[in-house]
Amino acid sequence: TARLFAAEGATVVAVDVSDKYLNDVVADINKQGGKAVAMLCNVASTEDVERVFKDTYDQFGSVDIVANIAGIGDYHTRTVRVSDELWQRMLDVNLTGTFKMCREALKYMEKQGSGSIINTSSGAGVRANSGCCYTATKFAVEGLTRNIAINYGGTDIRCNCIQPGLTQTRFAT
């Protein structure tokens, strides 16, 4: 996603909880003539999220597009096998992280009067064909997105959700 945005001319702030792949993506974008910077961020951490948006705004002067892609899976775990720890981790990353990124993005977008948020749900969020936790969090991302879209209807701030199916990424392997 970062590479595609860069190829379309966007300045990219690539964010990940680990620099394991992050620096390679940013280096590749810059090598191809794009402009990208890397920032470490745990999306479940309010402090990390606030820092990323502040640093982005300070460095580039606006927050125009936010693509919320962070997510983890539960590999089709049935409800009776879901531990409290798994449930909480899925909520923290898939739902709370998306919420915190939206909330912080909207603070900047309201000030500038425009922006676009793209949240990533899943086909499982509407078909319920995955594990209990994953399905619940992705269904909730759908509701969060709709609520933001309705609340900002009639403005130049948009919030949409994509629902990819199984995609060949590190997540799926």
69: Cα separation from own chain's centroid: 3
| Catalytic site residue from 57, 108, 134, 152 | 134
Cα 13 from Cα 36, distance rounded (Å): 6
Q: How many CA atoms lie within 13 A of 36 on its CB side?
A: 26
Nearest-10 Cα torsion for 139, 49, 7, 148: 40
**Judging by DSSP bridges, how do beta strands 157-162 and 11-16 pair with one another?**
unpaired
Q: What secondary structure letter does DSSP report for 169? A: S
Residue 57 bears catalytic tag: no
Q: Which residues are catalytic?
A: 134
